[in-house]
Chain A
């Protein structure tokens, strides 16, 4: 038996708006494929043959001798995943969907795929394979409990390393430290996909993920803001940083994700350990938290002051605050663009990216905007933070789209000096 894992392509900001390549003197970040597929590969019985295709690099809809074609995808890749499923089903293959979008929209996926996996897949995937081998595969597999992370093997990243070549060398690979979140943030899909309590991977597992990357000369990114949450998660993160320092894994981190509230309240100790562990850049996600949702509305001086303090703290600890600005929250108006640019200049942000608020299926925002009749498009290709897919509250859709482009153009208008930096230093997502 053979399984073909496919990572479906999606539209990047620079593909939706080619003018960005002219305005932005930075290198385009190439992320790794889904961690989910490498986890499924890791729990695939060894007697089953595996093939991997990255549709971003080379179109995946070409003949295969695999029996089963499995895709894990998020919303921007959903339309392409449907196209690929159609092709492979036409070839007589059984198609399987899993990951963020299929968990949020299983009924829609069921119209395109033979099998839909809802929730974490580690327990379901081996069962699905066994059912398929026995000729009894079901149309849907649903995980109804949190999978114990003690039992999870390391992701099979060798599947991706083996596929690397010119034109496909991801800048880094994600390292997962926790799963789940008890919070109900408007724009976050995490509680739906990974459940509502935080579960930490053991320290040996997290260090094992880093070692696996270091051995291959790859860099890691730590993307979860939940890792900084006070109490158990932050203590776990400190232990991880200490472990990295002890093992000499410092050079292997490209960035660590964090939000402004967490950056403000993180202890001096955890920030010092982060720096010592080689963390040189924060990926500072904005637009989802109470500080960045209010700081640029022009009516909350306290939030603006706290945003300044967050950036100043990153500078003070010596970690570059690569800042992601989200435009289009309900309190944002046309003046928000000027306020964001002013803030970026005054706080000394040198590296930024800009995104359009997008109500992803599975988030509270999606439910709310649907109820309010404000969803303008269900073309999932456009759910990539670079297109307006909903009706904004205080702007027209065109004003929001124009504001997003203006942010990119004006922020980078005086940043030509980045062109002289090395590729790793000037890499951003766009």
Chain B
């Protein structure tokens, strides 16, 4: 498993930007994934695939489907990083 370094949050913002309609500089924690960033549920899947590849996180599709905001996505990733 790849252990994420201290900059994982900013890397995660880059990953969110990659699958959303926004640039990384425009993304804020309070943004809603669907309404503000144009991400639908398939984008969430892309994101968790990227988190699996980059950080070795094993996040279930069901869990990701329940996340609605950028801060929620970060909290989900943090929970898995701390548990790893």
Contact = CB atoms under 8 A, between A and B. Distances in A.
Interface in B1-40: 19, 21, 38-40
The B interface, classified by DSSP as helix, strand, loop or mixed, is helix
A298 interface: no
B41 A184 contact: yes
The A interface, classified by DSSP as helix, strand, loop or mixed, is loop
B42 A183 contact: yes
A230 B44 CA distance: 11
B48 A231 contact: yes
Assign chain B's interface to a size class. Answer: 20 to 34
A65 B53 CA distance: 58
Interface stretch (A5-13, A103-111, A259-267, A317-325): A259-267
A262 B40 contact: no
Contacts of A261: 19, 42-43, 45-46
Given A265-B53, A266-B49, A290-B40, 6 more contacts: A186-B40, A198-B61, A231-B59, A231-B61, A233-B61, A290-B39
Interface of B: 19, 21, 38-43, 45-46, 48-50, 52-53, 58-62, 65
A230 B40 CA distance: 16
B42 A185 contact: yes
Contacts of A265: 45-46, 49-50, 53
B36 to A, nearest CB: 14
Contacts of A182: 41, 61-62, 65
Nearest to B47: A265
Contacts of B53: 265, 267
A172 to B, nearest CB: 26
Residue from the set A229, A230, A290, A294 with the largest chain B CB neighbour count within 10 Å: A230
Contact of A183 (B49, B59, B61): B61
A187 to B, nearest CB: 11
A232 B59 CA distance: 9
Contacts of B43: 261, 290
A187 B44 CA distance: 17
A379 interface: no
A290 B46 CA distance: 10
A267 B52 CA distance: 9
Interface in A206-245: 229-233
